Structure 1
């Protein structure tokens, strides 16, 4: 067990120190490190990795979609074995998470060295696990060449690795990477060019093997995208493709909303025009046009048109007042933030559903030492509770947060109202409630509050999901570890849920998923089975939902292997297919 001498040191200082250490020992004459490598070192040090030794992690059994991808790539790469043997290199194929799926070896000595280092099929070579290497391309999304001592971990300093990501030509998602490894002494600048050519060949094979419907979809998208300045999307039941103009306009939740509307077009088979407000407040007009292949509809083209409001360009978003420690940018959030700021120092009553963040809103600009009183406690010792309330409000200056005002015992209503009304203008008075107390005939409890703020439930501000997920993920990620990123398919799945406990249930889910995350990304496949079931394209109720949850859990337990999952459920594989189609869940998606 080595001691990480860089732990606790600021990443910038640690990076400079590591560079000096390498230059004074293993650095060849005239050797300069690239900026890309230095940035990667800084990320690795910030994540707490030890340059003296990193340990590749063994992954679980490959998913079925990974095996299909590997077979398609194998058909291309197997023909390059002669070139590989002549170069005395090793070629590795990974999935999007950096798990090695296939390896082609051109040197026995190199093969033995890689086996000793656990750089073999089944192990993870992502940057977050082994540090700077060709696997960094999965994070940077750029072709990457890492030479000898440029590797973050010293056990790889005798090697050179070149890598680039493989992007599916239809969905435009990163599906894996190709990595070429050789001895440092055999380093060649041509390695990166060769690996890029191989990647292009694999991507061409993926396009060729795509279904006729997918090819029709992408061909129509290419025709529509001739004018690249106009935002265009192509959507099918399991694919969404955007051009750069659309990608700049849309966030994950925006895409989820477009996908939902496109699903209606797929069913109805006619074009529609719909108004769309994106997450930064800009308003668009979306035109949905069905794509036909002979007599069937295979997808939808979505053309986005920017609109103007009262003659002003919609590309200039309205500034949103900030609320310290809280996040959001939806229309509902902007309205809430403006109301809170407009209330100023007036006594404020914050009303909203349980878990919606009432207490956090009420605590904005409230001193951290401000006392908190819960009206539900008044029933235990009524006189003492009212006396404490009165005493706190008489302090000069004072601040008070009173929770659950609407649950004030009925026989204390008058006394509590009198105490609240006696608060001076120097008192910062805030209270929370699930409903406005006046609806129960106790208007006097509301009268002392100059502002009544209504907090929207999470269902009314789903556009804020990406911001909320990022914020909560940072909160539940261990110190010194970079928080994982939420992928659009996961955000889309979460946007379909009901969230009865609002932010409280969202935070519980985030904490659970982050604790189980093994890579730097969280996709739909990383969500619990009951969440995937609840987020299925059509609403499932009763026994249907229970059945979907059971089937999804079986698929997850068996890494997406349908034969094994069906056996565990005691049903035929054909029955499993039929049930999943009936429940509206696509077995070929990567949610398992």
Structure 2
């Protein structure tokens, strides 16, 4: 009998036994270490922390002179605050990674008074011997979930911990009263925030005839003009775009709605609210429909531009990150009957046979894929081919990343199209996702909440990654709309990226690009960015990038 199985043979409460089983299924063992849990950054101005601060201050005063500790976790079960008055308790907690930023889920730390209440959604007492991981058995604790008073979703967990074999019977009533106080403060804060948002919406909608939308944490307000103009998927797109609005002043940009209507968006934050944004939409005149596309078509302007290049008769370069649809774009330029030669085949064919394949193509048009992989000699040969037969489309990595030989071949192309990464196509995202999902499962739709979560993802794999996520979601949901619960677990949260400003997104993209170019070497990436390695690690944590 192994150690994990032996634990179940002891007489324990049913809720603790269930927690142990979940811990085993997560891959934990009693001897698992918890002294090196991953530490992530969190928002120190979150509504949970703002509402909890006075309550935690009062608890700290009441517990002065004791060895008890109060810990607060957020909706990701990540510790965001802790209070204690005994330095020995602080050192003991530091040794088990019970520090701000550490995620104390059952999956990471086994049975504990943060992760277990979060899992079972009710208050739980955990005596010392009831912890699954040996390193936690020194402590006894009680944790109680904090619920959002409006949505009833769990906002966090409040925990009291002491050193000793048995939890104090006064723990539950003390924590339950504190949780009630926090929930009341959350309610009061939500009401004040919603009142300010409603007032700003009414003032703007009353003065103007244009479409007006107001977004809050759990609230969306629209006037009749906006109701007629917007489709359900537009709300997710607008919320993502306006998350980058500055804290003061107006934010403006042009976009095309899901219906194909072009509008100018103006947004500004609503003072006195946590995330309230007021949006005005002004219709613009419809753009000229590209030749060959029927009136009313919702095809993207990028597709229209690519098809217009069919009559150019000149070499074309299609550049972009992997997964951005370079092959599809090349086919739109030259059609499906063009010959295709891929530089990735060099590994199998060798340079000589690959060159022979290049020279032996007989179709009127030719696509040469991934030219950044070609050695200089073959780049020179390709350049000569371009001069002889200009009906060629090249695809490549972003132009800034091309080596010298590939750059010389690209320079022969008078027309160059840069495909944007999916993370920068927020106003087109809903249409792209809908088109992909229709191909995978005709008639299926994506619920706005699921679409909002998808838009917020960084999408390093671009369109290829999105197709994989939608395929998995469609297989999970055989009927009805795809909801956020149907998405793979890693894609269900809006995450930190959804709240990044435009400058922060640019900074995050620069870090991702530097890591890609340096094959993940942090020292070289920091040198490339002109920052210290410590600063690089700090910004990676802030943006939720894997280390």
TM-score (norm 1): 0.44
